[in-house]
Structure 1
Amino acid sequence: MTPNALPRRLTSTIIIALAFGVPAWAKTPVASGTGGAVATISEPASQAALAILNKGGNAVDAAVAAAAALGVTDPFSCGIGGGGFMVIYLAKENRVITLDHREVAPASFRSSAFAPDGKAMDFETAVASGMAVGVPGTVRGWHDALDRYGTMSFRQVLAPAIKAAQDGFKVNDNFVALVKENEQKFALFPETAGRYMRDGKALPAGTLLRNPDLAKTYRLLSTGGVKAFYSGKLAQAIVDSVNRPPVAAGVSVRAGQMSLADLANYEARWRQPVRSTYRGYELVGMPLPSSGGVTIAEALNILEGFDLKSMPREKAEHLYLEAARLAFADRNAYLADPEYVDAPVEGLLSKDYAARRRELIDPTQAHYYAQPGDPYLFQQDPSVPLRPAGAAKARLLSESAHTTHLAVSDKDGNIVAYTFTIESWGGSGITVPGYGFILNNEMTDFDFTGPHPNVPEAGKRPRSSMSPTIAFRNGKPAFTIGSPGGSTIVTTVLQTIFNHIDLGMDMPAALDAPRISERNGRATSIEPGFAGSAQAQALERFGQRWDAAAEEIGAANAIVFHPDGSVTAVSEGRRHGTGSALVQKRGH
């Protein structure tokens, strides 16, 4: 089945839910229709976006509304204490623009921050600290997106999230599992422990959880706008929490050195997207400091030289893994914040360079620990210098796998693919007292030691794997895809595109298929239940090997745009407690 011949799953259940208030547990991961669409991992977030669309808001307005609601219901993966990347398609102008509101290192940050004695400190110790907190960019990003391309104010788009925070929501098993995973970290910080734990343990499933402090903060933004976050009492509370972390009695964690000037000087960046082609599609993704757009494009360029449709599935998947391995070797060696590093992006995106890398793949046998290639030979831009010293070191570094992604489109054809994060599950663990949101630990996305393009520097944005992507065919939107998952974000988006285009799966099947993530590490990451399966055994015959620790990979969201003008919103069918897809009813 070709991607353009997708089955349409009409959603009478969604219409019933909207009309009669079906409870949150009745969320549906696939929805089709002819209006605006939204896919998130949270029913309240999807409903928030739909409410804004139904009131005449556009995709940008709805995306911010959904993101604000996710800050309430999924506070361990995202929120205003973090940052993100937004890819926006403007239908009337037929163009794509990207908004980088990634966190930045405070002006006091130094390259030796995580290796004060020359040796990298323990990763978890670094995470649960004030020094792990980067200057948050989310609120500035929301403001800039609304100011330039939205139609509504903070007051309007934050209203659903304020209600959700004030009224509360019932925590589910997935929420409880995330708290249990973080009990030790949360116990360090009374403000966090007091909200999400009881007697040192996670709140039980079914507990109604309210966050009046976050509702207060959102109201502050509704009246005071972006300045209310980056100056004044709230900014001072952020700085105090970073520099003097509010810890439990007898606890000590490393303090940061953030200033009010760091917050006041924060700027988001409008950037031109990364563009590539693959089997008749144009793929438009996030540029540096996201490594996603470049790495996905390079891997697909490598795969494009193989006739994957004619192969048995296991051989095609073997080639997918090997292409990802080679692309990650380059990603790990060269990519970082473009304002600090002249990365050879043009060379990495070159089809000729991909052909050179493709020659290294053995169609019958896996290779391990690929070395980076030399994209500088394919670099036409003379301003990018020759390969830097130390570039041959290709390492897979610790990168937290916890973020969230949402997809929104409106009736006019505008699209937003938005991935944002506070980094680890629960970020730094530090809740800003009285304001109800957790601060990020984004500084741990830097390499702890060098030499490396991604070492910490003052004002620098750590390299990210967030990969919001929009695909076009014949000049029109075909689908959008993105996911959380740290460095597995890149492979989740890559594998979903591979499943959809090369293996012919419809988008729900492409999302639900078992994920296998090769990032040029010790072994390929897999999900529970994959080892020992017929699919795994078939790939083992090519020499593929699996990481012993299996865990859920990603929580993707997508929208498919059909030639007849209808849309299908797709969220996870089983991961992260199942996602929520909604499409507007006729008449809106």
Structure 2
Amino acid sequence: MTRLPPRVSTTVLAATLSLSLLPACAGTPVATGTGGAVATISVEASRAAMAILNKGGNAVDAAVAAAATLGVTDPFSCGIGGGGFMMLYLADEKRVITIDHRETAPAAATPSLFLENGREIDFNTAVASGASVGVPGTVRGWHEALARYGTMSFKEVLQPAIGVASKGFPVSATFAHLTAQNEAKFRRFASTSALYLKDGKALPVGTVLKNPDMARAYRELAARGYRAFYSGPMARAIVGAVNQPPVAAGFKVRGGAMTLADLANYEARIRLPVRTTYRGYDIYGMGLPGSGGIAIGEALNILEGFNLKSLPRATAEHLYLEASRLSFADRNAYAGDPEYVDVPVAGLLSKEYAARRRGQVGMERVLGKTGAGDPYPFQNDPSTPLRPHASRVLAQNAHTTHLTVSDKAGNVVAYTFTIESWGGSGITVPGYGFILNNELTDFDFSGPHPNVPEPGKRPRSSMAPTIALRGGKPAFTLGSPGGSTIITTVLQTIVNHVDFGMPLERALNAPRLSQRNEAVTDIEPGFAGTLQAKGLERIGHKWHPEPEEIGAANAIAFHADGRVTAVSEAKRHGAGSALVQQPAR
């Protein structure tokens, strides 16, 4: 039985904060110029990044400053209680690397973590509990990024976020709406309701929301570095909140089994990206335990055999949907934590394997839900590996954030990080003001499957920060929140840009379709009934009856003349914020 949470609006918080508490101007979603560039969903986060760039910091320093600020202004989708994937292009070394700071399961976790009497527990019950909390990786990821590739310290890059948390910001209509959606979950936890609710309801629009406890957490990080999070008083507070959640009177939730050793032993991983080529571009994506880079790469390899720009638009869109369907069938079957399962990555990204999968695509018919292929013959591996069965698409939540930054030296950061559901587990760490993730619900609740819970394991993720090079130089970078729709958002934006010739801002803002090997395709409001929709319906495509906005992407395009264009959403989730150091005149 498929477990699905209620479909809710995926509106992403667009911060309305200015440091002086004067109303902030609306985000400018596109900016072109020279020097460094940044695109985020938050005006204040973009300003924080730009302030660091203007002080001489590089893209890594600026990315951490933006991320920390988002943890204040966008606390229901990201923060130091979660984890993420950071991808970097290092200009001096001309190479791409990734920092995996995905949350891990505590040492006490077992494959039956979310089973009772052999049956899967209710998804929402699992979310709002200490049992759903993975060991947070964000702070360790920031440390690795700054220590290895940055130029500034925690003390420097956290200052903008400390200012925002200390001075407060006026609650926007969007923030109030997101809080209202989470009232039932937040009321369960005394520390969360005290911060975000008044008399059990969302704070009114215009309320100045201060978070002195989060400012305290950031100050401790500024003073002691990452060790302040993974040992000492903050670590004890985290473990206490997980194992004995700070529930309000009259509520009872499941506790977790996290230890101080789980925190002290957490490590980020420096991993090579996955790579494929597509029409003259080198496309770099996040590798395992991220499934996004592999799924996008496989889909692009399938599409490369079609001349999309010469075909009628409906036919090209049909092929995009079918390529996504096939790559999702494989992603669902094989992807997991590479430290626990052998995943046939080389086979999945093989051009020859893509040709075999391409042969299943009909130009005038829809495949429908399909099985996984067999990439193992393309592995050049003489062993006889386990061939797992495909699983259903998990109920991944769409509540993540993505930011992208570049600097004048040509370094690039594409960064996606999350606490999973809106409001994560709902548990705010007492005394420190940040919400803990519910990332363990990204595991399959039952097996056998490569993505079941195990001690220390990282759940499979769809986060897909992407960097594209052309001629060895950055051409564009992009990423998005959106759970499993992250993969289709990035894939479709690449197709729009590369195949259909749309400037990146048009490619990013075009209507989105998301097919993830399901009977119906997710669509956005206004798509059903269009000529494009009717053309696809004649081939056999069917649409989800409840359209929603898909994704909240951010991107940067790098032009041959040295200019850069930072791009955020123009309409989805409220306009995003794009800034460049030296705007074009």
Name 2:293's counterpart in structure 1.
293
* C-alpha distance 290-424 of structure 1, shift in aligned 2 (>3 A): same
Residues 108-139 of structure 1, C-alpha deviations (whole Å, 9 max, x = no match) = 00000111321111111100000000000000
5 Å-filtered alignment, 1:318-467, equals 318-382=318-382, 385-389=383-387, 391-467=388-464
Residues 363-393 of structure 1, C-alpha deviations (whole Å, 9 max, x = no match) = 11112111100000111245xx53425x233
Name 2:11's counterpart in structure 1.
none
Would you say the 8 A contact 1:526–1:546 is kept in 2?
Answer: yes
Q: For residue 78 of structure 1, what is the amino acid of its counterpart? A: C
* C-alpha displacement of 1:221: 0.4
* C-alpha displacement of 1:169: 1.6
Give me the CA root mean square deviation: 1.6
* C-alpha displacement of 1:174: 2.0
Name 2:154's counterpart in structure 1.
154
Name 1:107's counterpart in structure 2.
107
Would you say the 8 A contact 2:80–2:434 is kept in 1?
Answer: yes
Name 2:35's counterpart in structure 1.
35
Name 1:544's counterpart in structure 2.
541
* SS class of match (2:86): strand
* C-alpha distance 23-91 of structure 1, shift in aligned 2 (>3 A): farther
Would you say the 8 A contact 2:26–2:575 is kept in 1?
Answer: no
Using the alignment, how far apart are the partners of 1:310 and 1:302 within structure 2?
A: 16
5 Å-filtered alignment, 1:239-258, equals 239-258=239-258
* SS class of match (1:438): coil
Name 2:6's counterpart in structure 1.
none
Would you say the 8 A contact 1:85–1:418 is kept in 2?
Answer: yes
1:503 matched to 2:527? The reply is no
5 Å-filtered alignment, 1:245-284, equals 245-284=245-284
5 Å-filtered alignment, 1:517-536, equals 517-536=514-533
* C-alpha displacement of 1:523: 1.3
- Number of residue pairs aligned between Structure 1 and Structure 2: 567
Would you say the 8 A contact 2:21–2:170 is kept in 1?
Answer: no
* C-alpha displacement of 1:22: 8.8
* SS class of match (1:585): strand
Using the alignment, how far apart are the partners of 2:288 and 2:485 within structure 1?
A: 17
Name 2:93's counterpart in structure 1.
93
* C-alpha distance 440-21 of structure 1, shift in aligned 2 (>3 A): closer
Q: For residue 437 of structure 1, what is the amino acid of its counterpart? A: F
Q: For residue 572 of structure 1, what is the amino acid of its counterpart? A: E
* C-alpha displacement of 1:397: 1.4
Would you say the 8 A contact 2:59–2:413 is kept in 1?
Answer: yes
* C-alpha displacement of 1:357: 0.2
Q: For residue 418 of structure 1, what is the amino acid of its counterpart? A: Y
Q: Percent identity?
A: 68
Name 2:225's counterpart in structure 1.
225
Gapped regions of structure 2 (runs ≥ 5): 1-17
1:562 matched to 2:559? The reply is yes
* C-alpha displacement of 1:207: 2.2
Using the alignment, how far apart are the partners of 1:205 and 1:551 within structure 2?
A: 24
Name 1:208's counterpart in structure 2.
208
Q: For residue 171 of structure 1, what is the amino acid of its counterpart? A: V
Using the alignment, how far apart are the partners of 1:321 and 1:404 within structure 2?
A: 24
* SS class of match (2:72): helix
Residues 73-116 of structure 1, C-alpha deviations (whole Å, 9 max, x = no match) = 00000000000000000001101110000000000000001113
5 Å-filtered alignment, 1:293-312, equals 293-312=293-312
Using the alignment, how far apart are the partners of 1:428 and 1:103 within structure 2?
A: 13
- TM-score normalised according to structure 1 size: 0.95
Q: For residue 116 of structure 2, what is the amino acid of its counterpart? A: P
Name 1:48's counterpart in structure 2.
48
Using the alignment, how far apart are the partners of 1:500 and 1:181 within structure 2?
A: 35
Using the alignment, how far apart are the partners of 1:166 and 1:66 within structure 2?
A: 16
Would you say the 8 A contact 1:330–1:394 is kept in 2?
Answer: no
Name 1:6's counterpart in structure 2.
none
Q: For residue 442 of structure 1, what is the amino acid of its counterpart? A: E
Using the alignment, how far apart are the partners of 2:532 and 2:583 within structure 1?
A: 42
Name 2:571's counterpart in structure 1.
574
Residues 385-427 of structure 1, C-alpha deviations (whole Å, 9 max, x = no match) = 53425x2334211111110000000000000000000000100
Name 1:138's counterpart in structure 2.
138
5 Å-filtered alignment, 1:109-124, equals 109-124=109-124
Using the alignment, how far apart are the partners of 1:586 and 1:357 within structure 2?
A: 45
Q: For residue 233 of structure 1, what is the amino acid of its counterpart? A: P
Using the alignment, how far apart are the partners of 1:27 and 1:76 within structure 2?
A: 20
Using the alignment, how far apart are the partners of 1:152 and 1:540 within structure 2?
A: 54
Using the alignment, how far apart are the partners of 1:367 and 1:175 within structure 2?
A: 41
Gapped regions of structure 1 (runs ≥ 5): 1-17
* SS class of match (1:575): coil
Q: For residue 501 of structure 1, what is the amino acid of its counterpart? A: V
Q: For residue 298 of structure 1, what is the amino acid of its counterpart? A: E
Name 2:471's counterpart in structure 1.
474
Residues 283-315 of structure 1, C-alpha deviations (whole Å, 9 max, x = no match) = 011000000110000000000000101011111
Using the alignment, how far apart are the partners of 1:522 and 1:441 within structure 2?
A: 28
Would you say the 8 A contact 2:32–2:583 is kept in 1?
Answer: no
Q: For residue 178 of structure 1, what is the amino acid of its counterpart? A: L
Name 1:238's counterpart in structure 2.
238
Q: For residue 240 of structure 1, what is the amino acid of its counterpart? A: G
Using the alignment, how far apart are the partners of 1:515 and 1:332 within structure 2?
A: 21
Would you say the 8 A contact 2:318–2:536 is kept in 1?
Answer: yes
Residues 436-495 of structure 1, C-alpha deviations (whole Å, 9 max, x = no match) = 000000000000000110000000000000000000111110000100000000011001
Residues 338-381 of structure 1, C-alpha deviations (whole Å, 9 max, x = no match) = 00010000000000000000010111111211110000011124
Residues 262-300 of structure 1, C-alpha deviations (whole Å, 9 max, x = no match) = 000000000011010000100011000000110000000
Would you say the 8 A contact 1:228–1:234 is kept in 2?
Answer: yes
* SS class of match (1:332): helix
- TM-score normalised according to structure 2 size: 0.95
Would you say the 8 A contact 2:465–2:480 is kept in 1?
Answer: yes
Residue 487 (structure 2) aligned to one of 482, 485, 490: 490
* SS class of match (1:39): strand
Q: For residue 219 of structure 1, what is the amino acid of its counterpart? A: R
Would you say the 8 A contact 1:297–1:349 is kept in 2?
Answer: yes
Using the alignment, how far apart are the partners of 1:453 and 1:571 within structure 2?
A: 35
Name 1:4's counterpart in structure 2.
none
Using the alignment, how far apart are the partners of 1:217 and 1:276 within structure 2?
A: 40
Would you say the 8 A contact 1:417–1:468 is kept in 2?
Answer: yes
Would you say the 8 A contact 2:330–2:390 is kept in 1?
Answer: no
Q: For residue 581 of structure 1, what is the amino acid of its counterpart? A: A
Using the alignment, how far apart are the partners of 2:80 and 2:225 within structure 1?
A: 13
Q: For residue 256 of structure 2, what is the amino acid of its counterpart? A: G
Q: For residue 460 of structure 1, what is the amino acid of its counterpart? A: K
Using the alignment, how far apart are the partners of 1:454 and 1:54 within structure 2?
A: 43
Residues 231-288 of structure 1, C-alpha deviations (whole Å, 9 max, x = no match) = 0000000000000000111111110000000000000000011010000100011000
Would you say the 8 A contact 1:374–1:387 is kept in 2?
Answer: no
Name 1:317's counterpart in structure 2.
317
5 Å-filtered alignment, 1:6-17, equals none
Using the alignment, how far apart are the partners of 2:27 and 2:66 within structure 1?
A: 15
Using the alignment, how far apart are the partners of 1:31 and 1:48 within structure 2?
A: 16
